[in-house]
Amino acid sequence: MSAASIALNRFGLGNRPDQPVPADPKAWLTGQFAKYDPKPDAILAAPTSAGVSAELAAYFRDQRALREQAKAASPGAIPPRTDAMRAAAQFARRAGRQDYAGAIGARAQTALVTDTPFVERLVYFWANHFAVSADKLELTGLAGTLEFEAIRPHVLGKFGDMLGAVERHPAMLLYLDQAVSVGPDSVIGQKRGGKVGLNENLAREILELHTLGVRSGYTQADVTEFARAMTGWTVSGIGRAPGAKLAGTDGLPGDFLFVDAMHQPGDRTILGKVYPAGGVAQAQAVLDDVAMNPATATHLATKLARHFAGDSPPPAMVSRLQAAYLQSHGDLPTVYRAIIDSPEAWVETPAKFRTPWEWSIGAMRALGQKTVDAQAVTGLMTQLGQPVWKPGQPVGYDDIAASWAGSDAVMRRVEAAERFAQRAPTTIDARSLAPKLFPGALSPATTQALARAESQGQALALLLVAPEFQRR
Amino acid sequence: MLDRRSFIGTSALGLAAALAPRMAFAKAATDRRFIFIIQRGAADGLHIVAPVGDPAFAGARGAFAQDFATAPKLDATFALHPALVGVNALYGQKQALFAHAVASPYRDRSHFDGQNVLETGGASAYQLRDGWLNRMLGLLSPGEAKAIAIATAVPMALRGPHEVASYAPSALPQASDDLLQRVSMLYAGDSQLHGLWSEALATRNLTGDLAADNGKTAAATGALAAKLLAPADGARIAMIETGGWDTHADQRGRLAAQLKGLDAMIGALQTGLGPVWADTMVLVATEFGRTVAVNGTGGTDHGTGACAMLLGGAVKGGRVIADWPGLGQGALYENRDLRATMALDGFIAGATAAHFGLSGGRAMAALFPGARGGKPVTGLA
């Protein structure tokens, strides 16, 4: 691959027919930092966590009222599930699916028209690093809002600020059960006895996935102590019982709340350091420390190097990124510049197999598409094996070829490519488009296949599944 | 028929030594089918095969124990979750076996490291780069070493030097034959894409109009796997991934729904395989178990000892095998988890060796090379 093709494809999201090939690839990448827009039009119009939470709160309120009605109608008996309850549940699920698809549409729309594709790629990277999964009812609508509200504003800021925003976001607090975790010795813990208690899910994944990384030296005792420090971090108005009730009605639905009555009192010892009792500041102090821990720097540097330099991250590059991170106190643009300055990220052999999202966005950009049908993109991503914000696990989607280069996966891309090509404007000539997408990087085999295709449409389909298009 | 590898073996080691693996191959050349259903997320074995006869069980599990009030008893100690209706029927026909208090060598509590150990068969996470199920293909005769993942990409347990196909139902329209042919030419010079593409075309021919099936439910996935395994020239080994076992909250309802799905999947496999079910072994296993105590949110957290299942006509079932460590004070691992008293490695090696007529030691060495001194469990099939 040429430097221009690497900048466009490995760092960017693939070229568009109306965009020039960058003359100075590195300057083209660093120049995007000043141009990046955290809230482009499509995102401004997308569902927000406040909006989704208000819908959810209304739904939970309706269900409670319907249960009360059913109880009053048949005193003493276990109230049956009524048609009204079922209808309300169905309505809530449909609303959640609409919000989910709407958010995916906004993400895709932004990707098609952006002038800062490198920064958009980094947004996806961090959203997957801090993965939530749109599986439960609450998460279906909220999953995308975490990327829009906690990742996008901080992608060019400090990692610690992004971390703090993510761990306070309702999607994360609900996804990893933090919203219902109660300190056993807190006011509510004492009052409710064995009915409520500690849940260590989020505390563990913060250490294992979000910051230090697995096997970096923390123990089960550190996890439990951190979980105690985190008690009280919850969401207003939308968690299922008992969380919603415990949190009270302070704030608007979906707001981050620190509920002192849920918080385990006392000092905590985590990774050998004592954190004095101090309400919300106690767990925040832990987050501040782990954000700047060298293990976190290594963990993040390794993942970033894997994303840009190949499935086996080069150790020298990892060290460089780690140093850039620590010296700049977690300043992300400094780390990104270190990536751009790393020769390992510019090796000519394609370093990565494109994920289904990268492949689909690359295809739509290549065809000059400027608008999307939100439902169609949502369905396509499911068919290609990477439903957006739905990895099923808090570790997010894998970032190695073995997870995406399956035989069935390649067949599906071929099927999808044929459909893309059938709907593409007939004015697009694959033979002249190809060198714009892969300047100085087109193989003779691909050039020949395009030249010999029986139609413009077939040539386009072949271009979309060519080896150059499958990798970056 | 000799392939190049066995020919080299013959000349280098002489006839006597060469006979052993050939006999193993000859014995392996049956119609045996093997399916690995992985439970991602750490399934709670204590809530699937519950030790209701353990005096500490009811106290430790509180309201969870109510799920077993009228559950079928497997023996004096254990009862089966009532959602596993079909599995219970298999147990009655001696076609279901449970191993309890089992664990891989992994002793920390990360899902993703735990799954890596479970799938690679390594002694620790990321020690091995291929999966034990892929290495098992190397022990089978070439005609039998055909495996498929019911997924769009191949999961870790099936990754490695032996080629493995993947398949999942697609709602996309099928591509035209002419395009497929041209893609074959386009990929001819690209070794990775050429290999993947050959597999994709072969699977496409086998599945015919499967794309019309709805693979969304567990039963449909089981039926799909059966369709790919049942034909005489179909795959012999399959892997199915299941998720949703990480029940930190509201475990009773969620686990019941999960188990109902698993039961339907196994039922669909049995129905779809028809007479081949008699030669089939299904392994169900998870990366680790969950805490003995119920947490503050009606769920359980990451633990250690778990429960594994073997199902199918080839299984010597109708029993629970366990060196039961107990749930009482002082019996728990790190004061919180079910202590592991049986190595999952040895259980899997013993099960697959018995199923394919291989020596247990050979299976152990190939599938779990890091398990020094580990013994395969015998008499499972």
Q: What are the CA-CA distances from residue A410 to residues A460, B92, B274 (Å)? A: 16, 44, 32
Dist CA A454 CA A166 (whole Å): 51
pLDDT level of residue A244 (50, 70, 90 thresholds): low
Residue B215 has pLDDT above 50, yes or no: no
Asked whether the predicted pLDDT for residue A182 surpasses 80, the reply is: yes
Would A336 be classed as within a structural domain? Answer: yes
Which residues, in sequence order, are CB contacts of A331 under 8 Å at separation 6+? A157, A158, A325
Rg of chain A over Cα atoms, rounded to whole angstroms, equals 24
User: Tokens 């109009």 correspond to what residue?
Assistant: B209
Looking at the structure, tell me whether residues A333 and A363 fall in a common domain.
no
Q: Which tokens is A139 given? A: 């998460």
Find residue A234's DSSP bridge partners.
Answer: A257
A455: pLDDT strictly greater than 90: no
Q: Which of residues 339-368 of B touch A (CB under 8 A)?
A: none
**A200 and A325 both lie in a single domain:** yes
Would residue A47 count as lying in a domain? no
Q: Specify whether A305 is located in the same domain as A279.
A: yes
**Nearest one of A183, A105, A178 to A144, comparing CA atoms:** A105
Same domain, A343 and A368: no
Contact A283, A226 (CB under 8 A): yes
**Same domain (yes/no): A330, A370:** no
Question: Does the pLDDT at position B26 exceed 70?
Answer: no
Residues A378 and A232 in one domain: no
Do residue A250 and residue A226 come from a single domain? yes
The Cα–Cα gap between A18 and A366 comes to 9
| ipTM exceeds 0.90 | no
pLDDT at B16 over 50: no
Domain interval for residue A264: 176-309+312-351
Q: Is B144 within a domain?
A: yes
Question: Is B250:B47 a contact under the CB 8 Å cutoff?
Answer: no
DSSP output for A270-329: ETTEEE---THHHHHHHHHHHHTSHHHHHHHHHHHHHHHH-SS--HHHHHHHHHHHHHTT
Domain that residue B119 falls in: 19-169+213-367
Element (H, E) at B242: strand B237-242
CB-closest option in B40, B108, B200 to A411: B200
The pLDDT, as a whole number, for residue A115 is 95
Determine, for residues B152 and A385 on separate chains, whether the beta-carbon distance falls below 8 Å: yes
Distance CA A315, CA A66 (A): 60
Residues 194-223 of A with CB under 8 A from B: 194, 196-201, 204, 208, 214-215, 220
Residue B247 has which token pair?
């029940």
**Best interface-test mutation with B: which of A408, A443, A452 has the largest number of B CBs within 10 A?**
A408
Take residue A132 and report the two structure tokens written for it: 């939530």
Question: B125 CB near a chain A CB, below 8 Å?
Answer: yes
Cα nearest neighbour of A179 on chain B: B297
Backbone angles phi, psi at A330, to 5 degrees: 75, 25
Residue at A66 is within a domain: no
With 90 as the cut, is the pLDDT of residue A71 above it? no
Residues of A in contact with B257 (CB under 8 A): none
Helix (H) or strand (E) holding B38: strand B33-39
Same domain, residue pair A247 and A205: yes
A159 found inside a domain: no
Is the pLDDT at A119 greater than 60, yes or no? yes
CA separation for the pair A110, A113 (Å, rounded)? 6
How far apart are alpha carbons B251 and B30 in whole angstroms?
A: 42
pLDDT tens by residue, A200-235 = 999 999 999 999 999 999 999 999 999 999 999 999
Q: Report the CATH number that the domain containing residue B278 is assigned in CATH.
A: 3.40.720
B147 close to B370: Cβ distance less than 8 angstroms: no
Question: For residue A156, is it within any domain?
Answer: no
Alpha carbons A234 and A247: distance in angstroms, whole number: 7
Instruction: Answer yes or no: is B104 within a domain.
Output: yes
Q: Which DSSP letter does residue B173 get?
A: P
- Answer whether A453 touches B (CB < 8 Å): yes
pLDDT at B21: 29
Distance in angstroms (rounded) separating the CA atoms of residues B363 and B135 = 9
Same domain, yes or no: A380 and A343: no
């510049």: which residue's tokens? A337
Query: Long-range contacts made by residues B243-246, C-beta under 8 angstroms, separation at least 24?
Result: B243/A392, B243/A393, B243/B40, B243/B41, B244/A135, B244/A392, B244/B41, B245/B39, B245/B40, B245/B41, B245/B42, B245/B43, B245/B44, B245/B286, B246/A393, B246/B41, B246/B42, B246/B111
Rg (CA), chain B: 21
Rounded Cα distance between A271 and A282, Å, is 14
Q: What is the mean pLDDT of residues A309-328?
A: 98
Average confidence (pLDDT) over A173-199: 91
Q: Which residues 366-385 of chain A have a CB within 8 Å of chain B?
A: 379, 383-385
Question: Could you tell me if A210 and A249 lie in one domain?
Answer: yes
Determine the distance in angstroms separating the CA of A446 from the nearest CA of chain B, rounded to an integer: 7
Residue B343 falls within a domain, yes or no? Answer: yes
Residue A184 near chain B (CB below 8 Å): yes
Q: Measured between CB atoms, does A99 come within 8 Å of chain B?
A: no
- By three-state DSSP, how is residue A433 classified? helix
Write a three-state SS string for A131-161. Answer: CCCCCCHHHHHHHHHHHHHHHHHHCCCEHHH
Calpha distance B376→B365 (Å, rounded): 10
Q: CA A198 to CA A231: how far, in whole Å?
A: 8
Q: Express each pLDDT in B254-312 by its tens digit.
A: 899 889 989 999 999 999 999 999 999 999 999 999 999 999 888 999 999 999 999 99
Angstrom distance (rounded) from CA A355 to CA A364: 14
CA atoms within 13 A on the CB side of B356: 30
**Does residue A429 share a domain with residue A324?**
no
Contacts of A170 (CB under 8 A, 6+ apart): A49, A53, A142, A179, A235, A238, A254, A255, A256
How far does the CA of residue A36 sit from the closest CA of chain B (Å)? 34
Q: A165 in a domain, yes or no?
A: no
Are the C-beta atoms of residues B48 and B254 closer than 8 Å to each other? no
B174 domain residue, yes or no: no
Which pLDDT score, from 0 to 100, does residue A193 have?
79
- Rounded distance between C-alpha atoms, residue A198 and residue A184, angstroms: 7
CB-based contacts of A257, cutoff 8 Å, min separation 6: A234, A235, A236, A247, A248, A250, A251
What tokens appear for A322 in the block?
């780690």
Residues 71-110 of B with CB under 8 A from A: 108-110
- From the list A189, A418, A443, the residue facing B176 with the nearest CB is A418
Inform me whether the pLDDT recorded for B188 exceeds 50: yes
Contacts 24+ apart (CB under 8 A), A278-283: A279/A232, A280/A232, A280/A233, A282/A229, A283/A226, A283/A229, A283/A230, A283/A233
SS (H, E, C) A235-276: ECCCCCCCHHHHHCCCCCCCCEEECHHHCCCCCEEECCEEEC
In what helix (H) or strand (E) does residue B239 lie, and over which residues does it extend? strand B237-242
pLDDT on residue B143: 76
| Average of per-residue pLDDT values in chain A | 94
Residue B320 lies in a domain: yes
Structural domains of chain A, count: 2
Q: Are residues A230 and A373 in the same domain?
A: no
Domain membership of residue A191 (yes or no) is yes
Count the helices and strands in chain B (H runs, E runs).
11, 11
pLDDT digits (tens, 9 = 90+) for A92-118: 999 999 999 999 999 999 999 999 999
Residues B377, B352: Cα–Cα separation, whole Å: 10
B166 contact residues in A (CB cutoff 8 A): 406-409
pLDDT (tens digit per residue) in B233-243? 889 999 998 88
Measured between beta carbons, the chain B residues lying within 8 angstroms of A204 are 109, 302
When mean pLDDT is compared over B79-83, B181-185, B296-300, B371-375, the highest value belongs to B79-83
> What integer pLDDT is reported at residue B373 of this predicted model?
67
Distance of CA A201 to the CA centre of its chain: 18
Q: Which residue has the tokens 């990366």?
A: B287
pLDDT band at B213 (very low <50, low <70, confident <90, very high): very low
User: What pLDDT is stored for residue A159 in this prediction?
Assistant: 98
Specify the number of domains making up chain B. Answer: 1
User: What does the alpha-carbon distance between residue A109 and residue A99 come to, in Å, rounded to a whole number?
Assistant: 15
Say how far residue A194 (Cα) sits from the centre of its chain. 35
Q: How far is CA A402 from CA A175, A355, A368, B103, B112, in A?
A: 27, 11, 30, 26, 16
Tell me whether residue A247 is in a domain: yes
Q: Is pLDDT above 50 for B210?
A: no
Tokens of A107: 């993400």
Over the stretch A129-154, which tens digit does the pLDDT of each residue have? 999 999 989 999 999 999 999 999 99
DSSP letter, residue B48: T
